[in-house]
Structure 1
Amino acid sequence: MDSNFDQELIDAIFKSVWSKKAIEREKNEDAETSKGEERAGTSKKNRPTSANSNAVRLSCELLRLFVTEAVQRAATIAEAEGGNKIEATHLERILPQLLLDF
């Protein structure tokens, strides 16, 4: 089993989020200009957002490390409770500290 995240998938997720944010930004700009404000030509509407391939590769590695650490911490909690399966409650318990650590 390949333990790496698919770079094309991560890049597609990033682009999807950026597109949604751009649409929200456009709606907010349109709402502001409809209130009588004039906007200078500073719109980002026509500029596509992209990520450098090294940035995507680094993001994939960070996600891999994050998920690996989450599984290890949840497994430790499950084992301490005498279980051999990681349950959602184990992940819920480790998540706050994990997010602080990352």
Structure 2
Amino acid sequence: METSFDSDLIGEIFKRIWRRRAAERERNEVTEAPDTEVGVGTPKKSRPTLANAKALKLSSELLRLFVTEAVQRAAMIAEAEGASTIEATHLERILPQLLLDF
């Protein structure tokens, strides 16, 4: 099997995103209802969002496949243009179809 992304790293990235979105939701709740009393209608203590080990392993493998496919498609474009290296413009050209395919 090919080397995959580290599941712990992917888990930390997910946690960071989840924390950021939770903070944004809290800010939005405060700005949407500034006249309400504190404690009235406030949600229960937020539980941390977690992903189990299998989900992280699967996410890591999906990310590996996505990156591999992006590099292969960009390499084909670069080769067709006669370039010896993949540049950002090659990735920009394949990205829309890649996103639709995944």
Which residue matches 2:41?
40
**Structure 1 segments unaligned to the other structure (5+ residues):** none
Contact 1:26 1:45 in 2 (8 A): no
In 2, Cα distance between equivalents of 1:45 and 1:57: 29
User: 1:7 touches 1:60 (CA, 8 Å); kept in 2?
Assistant: yes
1:20-74 CA-to-partner distances (Å, cap 9, x unmatched) read 0000011111223313388535x26531111111111110010000000000000
TM-score (norm 2): 0.88
Paired residues for 1:1-102 under 5 Å:
3-36=3-36, 39-41=40-42, 43=43, 45-102=45-102
- Unmatched 5+ residue regions in structure 2? none
| TM-score, scaled relative to structure 1 | 0.88
Distance 1:60 1:32 in 2: 37
